[in-house]
Amino acid sequence: MSRKFLGTGVALVTPFNEDLSVDHQALGNIVNYNIDNGVEYLVVCGTTGETATLTKEEKKEVLATVSKVNNGRVPIVLGIGGNNTANVIDEIKLTDFINVDAILSVTPYYSKPTQEGIYQHFKAISEASPIDIILYNVPGRTSKNIEPETTIRLANDFKNIVAVKEAGNSISQYYELIKNKPEDFLIISGDDDLALGVVLAGGAGVISVIGQGFPKEFSEMIRLGLKGDAKAAFKLHFKLIDVIGYIFEENNPAGIKGVFEALGLCRDSVRLPLVPASVGLKTKIASFVKGF
């Protein structure tokens, strides 16, 4: 089992300056804030990092900043995915993985491939990748679910496919995956609201959005869940449940950037087509942060 991905990983935002250039100073501060407060690993250039709006050069610079500030303290997972399999493979071949422990690769979006198409896509990525792969199933964004049978088939067929970040918001699908997975394969929650229940059922942890805003409490909640201490873990879960709802109320990552603005860690700037959280939502978030 790849123990380095047990516990809490955080899907890092990409902070922007007022002119929407990448704010590397704020990014470094967020990395330190998370490591100092106990998260187990960092996920760079995922959906929450607004990767769709970053240039190739910016992606390289973001990874370089995170790697430098991290300085080998925790594992790093890099988002590399897309709906053109050949392009994904080219990106893998051109990437320097010196400080990267795994790839997080999303289901092909927009194209709506069949389950066989999804299988062949990840088979090709597995054969091209020099490092471990975490599948990323997020049907709310891709419009296509990786059915549990396909995930388990990939897990059994390819040694370097070590985990799935499951974000279908379906507790029954989590249970099916946990029940049928190979022993060493990790089921990682991509749903902040369901993460504790998934861990208590046998999941390996979470790749979280809210976790980067409240890393101490969220990562402790997951650690307690992994130990089976449901009572203490749910105490933290209920403390955080309102803000989990708030950050996904309008769009991600505008919500979590609202949290960071309230914490003084970065601006709430996002790149179009996203817009910052509304005044009403920011007020709710700021009030939560102040009272936490």
pLDDT per residue as tens digits for the range 197-219: 999 999 999 999 999 999 999 99
Asked if the model's pLDDT at residue 5 lies above 90, the reply is yes
**Residue 102 pLDDT:** 98
> Catalytic residue at 165?
yes
For residue 4, with 0-12 CB atoms within 10 Å meaning exposed, 13-18 middle and 19 or more buried, which class applies? middle
**Residue 131 pLDDT:** 98
Asked if the model's pLDDT at residue 2 lies above 80, the reply is no
Give the Cα separation of 77 and 114 in Å (integer): 27
Asked if the model's pLDDT at residue 225 lies above 70, the reply is yes
Mean pLDDT of the chain: 97
How many CA atoms, within 13 angstroms, populate the side-chain half-sphere of residue 279?
0
Closest of 292, 253, 260 to residue 276, by C-alpha: 253
**Residue 103 pLDDT:** 98
Asked if the model's pLDDT at residue 3 lies above 90, the reply is no
On whether the CB atoms of residues 102 and 129 are closer than 8 A, the answer is: no
Asked if the model's pLDDT at residue 27 lies above 80, the reply is yes
**Residue 1 pLDDT:** 55
**pLDDT (average), residues 108-121:** 98
pLDDT per residue as tens digits for the range 129-148: 999 999 999 999 999 999 99
pLDDT per residue as tens digits for the range 66-89: 999 999 999 999 999 999 999 999
**Residue 133 pLDDT:** 98
Closest of 213, 222, 220, 217 to residue 194, by C-alpha: 222
**pLDDT (average), residues 93-121:** 97
On whether the CB atoms of residues 177 and 188 are closer than 8 A, the answer is: no
**pLDDT (average), residues 248-270:** 98
pTM over 0.75: yes
> Catalytic residue at 136?
yes
For 95-160, give the DSSP string. ---TT--EEEEEPPPSS---HHHHHHHHHHHHHH-SSEEEEEE-HHHHS----HHHHHHHHHH-TT
**Among residues 119, 136, 174, 246, which one is catalytic?**
136
What do you get for the CA distance between the two ends of the chain, in Å? 36
**pLDDT (average), residues 94-109:** 97
**Residue 52 pLDDT:** 96
**Among residues 165, 257, 282, 284, which one is catalytic?**
165
